[in-house]
């Protein structure tokens, strides 16, 4: 099994380790050795640090090219979380809202600036532009299927509030509805981009969210990441892939 990704990949690697499965992984963000214990029980001898920007190293590309099995991509980020917290450090910034095409009847904030959906989609696309470049580089480096996984659900509200309090006024964070819409639109942008690059898209595990669409508390590692139990749900998805 070959994995490629940022920090969202680590919970899946923990689940893989727990089952004793062999793997190789390419970490797109160099891991600080002093903080590796925070990322769980990962065998770091199986992990290559390679940012893939502007291109992967030749040895990494050779790994991709030689693979006869699918490559699992967890190229992701937290831009949609940053958008949700943009007013926390500067409450003078206008609040915003938008219509989510998959749920057009969700209420809009009367006091917010209503951003056209296509404009919001483009803001998200530009925010993840460098990540999509890496995905394009990955898909071009292999002939085996590449599965791109969705960004994980937002953490419960209390964790987002604690994160916001570290940088400013937590009451200025985007509402739960807007945060959920940002995540769903981000997933749509990832799906569209991945499929356009020839990758196969995998949505979030349905069992990972509560009734409101936020990550179940027992699956959370911190305000932006799932834990090994969340990774285990993703690993079950992998096992069912063709």
Predicted confidence (pLDDT) per residue in 128-152, tens digit: 999 999 999 999 999 999 999 999 9
Name the residue among 126, 118, 119, 113 with its Cα closest to residue 178.
Answer: 113
CA angle 61, 27, 240 (to 5 degrees): 85
Q: CA–CA separation, 161 vs 173, rounded Å?
A: 8
**What's the chain's Rg over C-alpha atoms?**
18
- Residue 204: pLDDT band (50, 70, 90) is very high
Question: SS3 for 25?
Answer: strand
Selected from 2.30.30, 3.40.1350, 1.10.3470, 3.40.50, the CATH number assigned to the domain covering 2-240 reads 3.40.50
Percent of the chain clearing pLDDT 90 (strictly above)? 90
Model pTM score: 0.94
3-state secondary structure (DSSP) of residue 113:
strand
- pLDDT given for residue 187 in this prediction: 98
CA angle 62, 64, 69 (to 5 degrees): 135
Tens digits of residue pLDDT in 141-192: 999 999 999 999 999 999 999 999 998 999 999 999 999 999 999 999 999 9
3-state DSSP helix/strand/coil % of the chain, to nearest 5: 45, 10, 40
What is the residue extent of each domain of the chain?
2-240
Looking only at the bridges linking them, the beta strands covering 47-49 and 24-27 are parallel
**85: nearest Cα among 212, 184, 171:** 171
Residue recorded with tokens 């309090």: 165
């Amino acid at each position: 099994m070959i994995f490629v990704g940022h920090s969202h990949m680590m919970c899946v690697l923990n689940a893989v380790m727990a089952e004793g499965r062999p793997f190789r992984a390419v970490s797109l963000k160099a891991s600080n050795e002093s903080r590796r214990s925070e990322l769980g029980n990962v065998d770091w001898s199986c992990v290559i640090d390679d940012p893939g920007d502007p291109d992967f190293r030749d040895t990494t590309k050779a790994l991709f090219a030689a693979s006869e099995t699918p490559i699992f991509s967890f190229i992701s980020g937290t831009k949609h979380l940053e958008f949700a917290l943009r007013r926390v450090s500067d409450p003078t910034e206008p609040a915003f809202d938008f219509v989510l095409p998959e749920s057009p009847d969700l209420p809009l904030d009367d006091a917010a600036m209503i951003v056209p959906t296509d404009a919001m989609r483009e803001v998200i696309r530009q925010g993840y532009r460098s990540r999509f470049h890496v995905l394009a580089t990955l898909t071009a480096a292999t002939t085996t299927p590449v599965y791109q996984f969705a960004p994980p659900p937002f953490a419960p509200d209390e964790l987002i509030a604690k994160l916001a309090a570290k940088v400013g006024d937590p009451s200025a964070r985007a509402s739960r509805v807007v945060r959920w819409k940002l995540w769903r639109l981000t997933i749509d942008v990832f799906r569209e981009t991945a499929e356009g690059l020839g990758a196969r898209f995998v949505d979030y595990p349905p069992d990972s969210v509560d009734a409101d669409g936020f990550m179940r508390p027992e699956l959370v590692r911190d305000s932006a990441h799932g834990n090994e139990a969340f990774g285990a749900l993703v690993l079950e998805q992998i096992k069912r892939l063709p």
